[in-house]
Amino acid sequence: MDEVSKQIHLYQRAGFGFAPKQLFTKTSIAASIATLLAPKENFKLISFTENWASLPKEQREEQRKMARKESQKLGGYWLKQMIATDDVLLEKMTLFWHGHFACHINARPDFGVSLNNIMRDHALGNFRVLTKKVAREPAMLDFLNNTQNKKSSPNENFSRELMELFTIGRDNYTETDIKEAARAFSGWAHTPDGDFVVRKKHHDYDRKQFMGKTDNLNGDDIIDILCKDKRTSEFIAGKLYKFFVADMPDKEAISELANVLYKHDYEIKPTLNHLFSAKWFYDSAGTKIKSPTELLVGLSRAYGIKYNDDQSLIFLQRSLGQHLFRPPNVAGWPAGQKWIDSSTLAFRMRLPSILLNKGVIEWNLKDEPDKMIDLKTQYRNRAKEKSKKWLQISTDWNFVEDNWKNISQEFFVNIQLPPIRSSMANDLIEKSRTDLKSLATTVLSLPEYQLC
């Protein structure tokens, strides 16, 4: 793979695609990785519906109604940040942790905002520190029922998911470990405004026995013990590999990555630096199916797409199968081929046309019979009207033309699609070479564009 192809692959996986200007900077891969990992100005999602405890009862009821509506919009607010940001790796890693520490947000959008900002603050920091912070977040305490975890009646939900999904992985702990960990987290709760508290009368201060260690353990101790076990580094390395590299695990590569993570005491930056420098990372080009968020953000960034109302982004997320802040369960969203079924694939392939051209694929009609031209014009107009019902969007084609002005059509095709393409794809591309708008709409609507 040549250096330009490596740069394209790096920005596809470590971000949400690339700007053409990045292809002409002539920086090395090592320099690009360093740029991606360098700290930048930290964005924060804004908080909503705060100070619940101080509101009169009547106002709290009204606040709850507004909050449910606001929680649906959170994913759209975040998507707009991903589209606008220069700190693509930070947002990409926040997206990774958002799926790893999956938490459904409904009645308290302020809790969802707080959790998302904690993930962003520590996205490129230390995994152990992040896990301890997440365990104190009101959204997670509520979602996994730890506010109901009391010495007199332990609730094991959080301790189970902490081990199975967040740290060491399934089959690496016992039922006794779950029960003892639950005791260690008993009394961990929050105030109505979301401040973390340990309710002393509900916390179990007796000795616990967890994974061979016996002591008066609390929740932080449990997380420390889990992180001292190298199987946790292997579990996290496996998830990073799946997110950034390939859906099918490579035991040797994952073990290599786990060793780096463990050696650096769960620091994420050196682990990602190793991952983005590895030959096996670049060997995986063109094999991963883009997640709905990656697809939507990548298109929007590259083609100057603006969303003029909140409902448009809610509709797109639901249709694509990844409504941020609303995962299907605590395991997060499925990935890889599970992103695709007959319904979502059809919508994914229409998405570029919907966003760039109000619902239809445009190509050169000059050689078509008059009857066919009329039929396609009728279809085009119907599709545009239908899309207006659900989407309020605009595309800045002046931005697009300026963004891609130094790129030849052939190079444009090659950097958008994997090198191996079907003959049908090549035929459609040839029909669409009249102008950039027609070419882009066709190229981005091909099945091959779903891969990165």
Of 410 and 258, more confident: 258
Q: pLDDT tens digits for 381-434?
A: 555 555 556 678 888 888 888 888 888 898 889 888 887 888 999 999 999 998
Rounded average pLDDT over 280-308: 94
pLDDT in tens, 127-171: 999 999 999 999 999 999 999 999 999 999 999 999 999 999 999
Strands in 130-212 per DSSP E: 188-190, 196-198, 208-210
Residues in the chain: 452
- Joined together, the tokens standing for residue 19 give 């700007």
* Residue 49 backbone zone (phi > 0: left; psi -120 to 50: alpha; other: beta): left
Q: Specify the DSSP element, H or E, that contains 213.
A: strand 213-215
Is the pLDDT confidence value at 370 over 80? no
Q: What is the 3-state secondary structure (H, E, C) of 268-308?
A: HHHHHHHHHHCHHHHCCCCCCECCHHHHHHHHHHHCCEEEC
Q: Which H helix or E strand runs over 342?
A: helix 342-357
pLDDT band at 262 (very low <50, low <70, confident <90, very high): very high
Average pLDDT, the chain: 89
What's the mean pLDDT in 351-356? 86
For the ranges 42-56, 172-186, 242-256, 354-368, the lowest mean pLDDT is seen at 354-368
Least confident interval from 31-45, 114-128, 349-363 = 349-363
Mean pLDDT of 214-228: 98
Q: What angle do CA 163, 14, 396 make, to 5 degrees?
A: 125
CA distances in angstroms from 270 to 99, 234, 276, listed in the order given: 21, 15, 10
Mean pLDDT for the stretch of residues 46-70? 73
Decide if 64 contacts 107 (C-beta within 8 A): yes
Nearest of 326, 295, 371 to residue 75 by alpha carbon: 326
Half-sphere exposure of 302 (CA within 13 A, CB side): 27
pLDDT band of residue 310 (cuts 50, 70, 90) is confident
Q: What is the pLDDT of residue 389?
A: 61
Q: Facing residues of 153 across strands?
A: 150
Burial of 342 (C-beta count, 10 Å sphere; 0-12/13-18/19+):
exposed
Q: Cite the beta strand spans of 318-383 per DSSP E.
A: none
Angle between helix axes 370-390 and 310-320 (nearest 10 degrees) is 110
* pLDDT above 90: percentage of residues in the chain: 66
Q: Pairing mode, if any, of strands 208-210 and 196-198? A: unpaired
Q: How far is the C-alpha of 222 from the C-alpha of 132, rounded, in Å?
A: 10
Structure tokens at 408: 């030849």
Measure the N-to-C terminal CA separation of the chain; round to a whole number of Å. 15
Beta strands in 98-212 (DSSP E): 188-190, 196-198, 208-210
Instruction: Supply the pLDDT for residue 414.
Output: 84
The per-residue pLDDT for range 67-126, each reduced to its tens digit, is 888 899 999 999 999 999 999 999 999 999 999 999 999 889 999 999 999 999 999 999
pLDDT in tens, 436-445: 888 998 999 9
Distance between CA 220 and CA 212 in Å, rounded?
A: 16
Cα 441 from Cα 58, distance rounded (Å): 51
Its pTM stands at: 0.92
Supply the pLDDT for residue 248.
Answer: 95
Packed helices 3-14 and 29-37: angle between N→C axes, nearest 10 degrees:
20
Buried-state track 57-74, b at ≥16 Cβ within 10 A, e below 16: eeeeeebeeebeebbbbb
Contact 276, 440 (CB under 8 A): no
